Chain A
């Protein structure tokens, strides 16, 4: 993204790289889009940093929730959605409980993840859960070891969910197909596996 300075030594060009943001990088509608999906007053952030101070992921990574909050206020959509740190939020909601402006930064992160997914940017583990639910109705399905244990302790071998009543699976698949998430998941997982 950085603007070239035109220095003759490419090493110096890289070291002294322009780190400013310019107006043309900004998509002002991004703040509004985040607002509509996250249903929080995301534009109100005054960058106090209480969120990052409360964050369990911050002390062990470069993930900074405050930075993501700033990016969405400034409309820096590309910077926000392409940063892999976006996926390090454990959604513990500590920042949300402590935000002095009553914003829900966690929900802002969730909304931004939705927008990243729409661009095909999403870690495959999220999509594998989708595929499992499509197959069985469960993100963590039953297995034979567990079936044996269930029977031993007096429970039916399969719980009375879509496991025991697979006739409800078509309904669940209809919901997933309505938003084409299975299709998208299969596509991205296949691509990821192709590239090893």
Chain B
């Protein structure tokens, strides 16, 4: 559906990017435009909803709320692009499940019938999941040579991140479970490293690269020190590989790595001070956006040591 009108996508924002790290949102809009990807507002979208919290208590609510967000984009006639792995799990997976399971779709549509229309909140009975669009993560679009690809990114870099070593944290829900995704190997993927290299930085391999950040599944809220211990193991392994920063494609992982380091200091007495940057923030820096434009001062762990190497 996207090819008919060029690269136009409905931008699904989620919660943590717009409400905690707004630089991710600013950069997604600005940098994507430079790369020929136009992102459009999804008026009245909500939380995806959080797959760990909602999936754990009532899967039906999770299906219905995610479907409502999908229908907003269906009505815009656009595929969805988003920038959070958690949102990707909810929106991508529910979209696929409802496309392929009639009984789930009927159950969801029964409820959506009573929900106000996104183009006119006074109208009801017009919300229906039809299964007419697809869902993509922005990094997936950046990596896809048919849409963008690393070469196009390289051509647009005005401030190469030369001399920096960056570890990539893929996060879980972007690529796993692999049989429900289409993004290839999940044991040692390298395609985000290619994007990082296109920005001029040196992507660095480290031990247990594919390990979870620890926050998902409601564990961050349920047992904080358990979640932090997982994060701390990742930080040990990143530190051993002498990285200048860790990048990810998920604001929830970012929150866990960034604020998590403050909590690790409080609970375990260790201070890592490792800058954490969403891929979109890295992209913004490489495309010439200033740290102020990216609101990098919203980070709990100062990113200055990283900035010193590139500014």
Q: Pick the contact of A155 from B26, B58, B116, B216 — CB < 8 Å?
A: B26
Q: Pick the contact of B15 from A111, A130, A140 — CB < 8 Å?
A: A140
Count of interface residues, chain B, beta-carbon cutoff 8 Å: 69
Instruction: Name A residues whose Cβ lies closer than 8 Å to a Cβ of B.
Output: 37, 56-57, 60-61, 87-94, 96-97, 102, 104, 106, 110-111, 113-114, 117, 122-123, 125-130, 133, 137-143, 146, 149-150, 152-155, 159-165, 167-168, 170-172, 174-176, 178-179, 181
Q: B226: which A residues are within 8 A, CB to CB?
A: 57, 60-61, 88
Q: Pick the contact of A94 from B176, B217, B221 — CB < 8 Å?
A: B176
**Chain A proximity mask over B152-170: 1 for CB below 8 Å, otherwise 0:** 0000000000000000000
- Chain B residue with minimal CB distance to A137? B46
Q: A174: which B residues are within 8 A, CB to CB?
A: 111, 114-115
- Chain A residue with minimal CB distance to B56? A113
Q: Is B144 an interface residue (CB 8 A)?
A: no
Q: Which of B199-207, B236-244, B269-277, B291-299 contacts A (4 or more CB under 8 A)?
A: B291-299
CB distance from B182 to the nearest CB of A (A): 14
Contact B25 A88 (CB under 8 A): no
**Are A129 and B42 also in contact (CB < 8 A) when A90-B216, A92-B176, A153-B295 are?**
no
CB distance from A51 to the nearest CB of B (A): 12
- Chain A residue with minimal CB distance to B52? A91
Q: A165: which B residues are within 8 A, CB to CB?
A: 43-44, 121
Q: Is B65 an interface residue (CB 8 A)?
A: yes
Within 8 A of A (CB), among B291-309: 292-295, 298
CB distance from B44 to the nearest CB of A (A): 4
Contact A122 B15 (CB under 8 A): no
